[in-house]
A and B are shown apart, each in its own frame.
Chain A
Amino acid sequence: MKSSLRLFYLGGLTSYRALFSWLTPWILIPSFVVAPIVQAALFSYVGRAAGVGSDSFFLIGNAVQYASVPCLFAMGNTVSGERFQGTLPLLLASPARRIPLFLGRSLPVILNGFAVAMVALFGGGLLLGVRVPWTALAPLAFVVAITSFSCAGLGVFTAAIALRVRESAVLSNLGYGVLLIFSGANIPLYLLPSWMATVAGWLPMTHGIAAARLVAGGSGMASIGGLLLQEAGLGLMYVLIGLVLLAYFENEARRLSTLDAF
């Protein structure tokens, strides 16, 4: 147990530092400060021009949805980055337990996703003149944290796929695009075709974004309990699927000697 915790913490920290050794302020600020604020502004202006939604609707939707960028890209990079550095075979040859190994890597990613969404909420709020009540900030932060966890679950899933797909950045971009359309960040679910709304219900972020909007609108935590449970449950489901796939693809790679073939 103690060694698993050590692996969870130290492995995650080391991976985060390795990942973020290239995430200097020159990358951090454009990617995780400016870009999410601009995305919120872009869709707010499109909403104004299209005559749909409100600035608050688009700010919350896009700020929370942008947490998917670190959650998907950084998790995918935990595998593709190792491959690029030539350390993936060493990692998988190690006797380290896989669950703490990969879950440890997801913890800094969740924190990063949370921070990105909160910065976008504040920065975008200042730019667009949207005020979130002070009393809503703590519940909103909690909702964002759960949503980041849930999306990092999808990230574990994409990390597993990255064992078989070389272009994990393409995969992460596709995931981000799907969430942009389906999660309700920009189009209310009731305005989506029914099959899209059904798919949205099985994706991370959908329930989190809905909960964030309710909280920002003054609803109490009691009214969003169901949404948060669904969001967390979906995150857990994706983590489990991701871990099973990681084990399966690792075994396949060992059996067929194809670890570096992709």
Chain B
Amino acid sequence: MTGVLRLVLIAWWFQLKIRSRSAFDGLLSMVYPLFFATTIFLMYRAGSAGDTALVSAAVGASVMGVWSATSTTAASSLQQERRQGTLELLVAAPSRFSLIIFPLTLSMATVGAYSLVATLLWGRFVFGIHIAVAQPLTFALAIFVTVIAIGMLGFLLAVSSVRYRSAWALGNMLEMPVWLICGFLVPLSVLPSWLHPVAWVLAPTWGLDAIRAAAEGRPGWTSLGLCVVLTVVYGLVGALVSGWLVDSARRDAKLALT
């Protein structure tokens, strides 16, 4: 167990250092969500929804960046390893493949956490949106869990799209639907009812609800628990899928060909 934890921590830190030196993964991940947040703040300010809706949207907008930093880069991460010629080395490593890939996507979500803070500060100092947090410790815990959940969702996306050469396009395509379906910017109740089950199986839906609950001072432990459960499920499914894909690629000798 200690060895696994050490591997995850070291790989996460290593990947985080790589990403923080990339203009695309580092700088853009922080700035890009601000464009959307600014647009949304201006829309809410111009509209008739009131301050409560604006604050709720501001919390959601701050988490948008975590998913933005993860979706496209996670989907294309294994393709990038393949292009760099390091995918074979990762597969050949004595550690489980899933334990090497998860820290990679977790580092993306961590970069996104920078953007979460940046968006909250942007809202506070540029738009004067003051988010009064009723339960600061639960708020911080909910953010931590949501970042891990998004990292794990990215992990599932990364291993599921290993056979898809243009996976970055898939990740890019999924960016806004997740913002919309998980209720980052609008309440789930305004979306068509057939989308609700989709939202329920996405961990960010529950993570965001827990963050909002902590900010508003209502109980959010059920949402937080569901977020954790879904994160574990993503991890298990991702580990199974990655194991199956690696075995298949080894058996057919086509790791570099897909």
Interface of A toward B, CB cutoff 8 Å: 22, 24, 26-27, 30-31, 34-35, 38-39, 41-43, 45-53, 167, 169-170, 173-174, 176-178, 180-181, 186-188, 191-192
Contacts and interface: CB of A to CB of B under 8 A. Distances in A.
Interface string B28-50: 10011011101110111011110
B46 A52 contact: yes
A227 B159 CA distance: 49
B40 A46 contact: yes
B46 A49 contact: no
Nearest to A185: B39
B178 to A, nearest CB: 10
A46 to B, nearest CB: 5
B46 A191 contact: yes
Contact of B43 (A41, A50, A167, A176): A50
B70 to A, nearest CB: 16
Interface stretch (B5-13, B99-107, B186-194): B186-194
Contacts of A188: 46
A178 B35 CA distance: 7
Given A38-B176, A46-B186, A192 B42 contact: yes
B190 A174 contact: no
A186 B172 CA distance: 21
Given A26-B165, A26-B166, A178-B35, A170 B42 contact: no
Contact of B39 (A48, A173, A181): A181
Given A170-B27, A181-B38, 6 more contacts: A38-B176, A49-B57, A49-B190, A50-B40, A174-B28, A191-B42
B53 A49 contact: yes
A46 B179 CA distance: 11
A188 B190 CA distance: 23
Q: Give the size category of B's interface with A.
A: 35 or more
Interface in B181-204: 185-187, 190-191
B249 interface: no
B164 interface: yes
A49 B43 CA distance: 10
A42 B28 contact: no
Contacts of A170: 23-24, 27-28
A27 B191 CA distance: 27
Contacts of B18: none
Contacts of B53: 49-50
B173 A34 contact: yes
A41 B180 CA distance: 9
B94 interface: no
Interface in B148-178: 164-166, 169-170, 172-173, 176-177
Contacts of B44: 50, 52
5 contacts: A46-B185, A49-B187, A52-B46, A180-B36, A191-B42
A45 B44 CA distance: 12
Nearest to A187: B42
Contact of B31 (A22, A43, A174, A191): A174
A125 B47 CA distance: 23
